[in-house]
Structure 1
Amino acid sequence: MTKLLFILIIVFIAAVYTGCQSAIDKAVRDTKYSAYEMIGIEKRDLFKKEVKNVKSSQQDTQEDFGDALKHLQAVYNVDGGKLEKAYKSLDSSYKDAEKSVANVQNHINKLEVLSGDLFAEWEKEIKEISSRDLRMKSSESLLNTQKKYNTYHDSLKKSEAKMAPVLARLKDQTLFLKHNLNAKVVAGLKTESDKIQTDINVLIKDMNESIAKADDMIKELE
Structure 2
Amino acid sequence: MPYLLAILLSLTALTGCQSAYYSAMEQVGIHKRDIMVDRVEDANDAQQDAQQQFTSALDALKALNQFDGGDLESAYNQVNDQYEASNDAAEKVRERIAAIEDVADALFEEWQDELALYSSSKLRRDSESKLNTTKASYQRMLSAMHRAEQKMDPVLDTLRDNTLYLKHNLNAAAIGSLQGEFQSLQRDIQRAITDMEAAITESERFISQLQRS
Q: TM range, normalised to the smaller chain?
A: 0.7 to 0.9
Task: Specify the alignment match of 2:157 in structure 1.
Answer: 168
Match of 1:189 in 2: 178
Q: 1:38 aligns with which of 27, 30, 36?
A: 27
- Among residues 1, 5, 17, which one is paired with 1:28 in the alignment? 17
Q: Contact between 1:97 and 1:167, CA under 8 Å: does it hold in 2?
A: yes
Call closer, same or farther: CA 1:86–1:210 in 2, change over 3 Å. Answer: same
2:187 to 182, 186, 198: 198
Q: Is the Cα–Cα contact under 8 Å of residues 76 and 190 in structure 1 kept in the other structure?
A: yes
> Which one is further off, 167-176 or 179-188?
179-188
Aligned residue in 2 for 1:11 = none
The one-letter amino acid paired with 1:163 is M
Select 2:116's aligned residue among 123, 127, 131: 127
Q: 2:137 corresponds to which residue? A: 148
Structure 2 gap segments, 5+ residues each: 1-15
Give the C-alpha shift of residue 70 in structure 1.
1.1
Larger Rg: 1
User: Of the candidates 190, 210, 220, which is equivalent to residue 209 of structure 2?
Assistant: 220
Aligned to 2:76: 87
CA distance in 1 between counterparts of 2:118 and 2:27 reads 22
Percent identity over the alignment?
36
Work out which of the residue numbers 139, 146, 150 in structure 2 matches 1:157: 146
- Three-state SS of the structure 1 residue aligned to 2:42 is helix
Query: Following the alignment from structure 1 to structure 2, what is the Cα–Cα distance between the partners of residues 135 and 35?
Result: 27
**Cα displacement string for residues 152-181 of structure 1 (whole angstroms, at most 9, x for unaligned residues):** 000011111122232122111012112322
Deviations 1:172-222 (A, max 9, x none): 101211232222221112112211221111111111110111111122222
TM-score by length of 1: 0.83
Task: Find the aligned partners of 2:170 and 2:148 in 1 and give their Cα distance.
Answer: 32
Q: How high is the TM-score relative to the length of structure 2?
A: 0.87
Does the CA-based 8 Å contact 1:80-1:182 persist in structure 2? no
Deviations 1:5-35 (A, max 9, x none): xxxxxxxxxxxxxxxxxxxxxx932222111
1:41 Cα offset (Å): 0.8
Which aligned runs of 4 or more in structure 1 are off by greater than 4 angstroms?
none
1:34-113 correspondence runs (5 A): 34-113=23-102
Q: Aligned with 2:17: secondary structure? A: helix
Deviation of residue 82 (structure 1)?
4.7
Q: Measure the CA separation in 1 of the matches of 2:17 and 2:101.
A: 16
Structure 1: tracts of 5 or more residues without a match? 1-26
Question: Can you list the C-alpha shifts for 1:40-65, whole angstroms capped at 9, x where unaligned?
Answer: 01111111111111111111111110
* 2:106 counterpart residue number: 117
Taking only aligned residues, the RMSD between alpha carbons, in angstroms, comes to 1.5
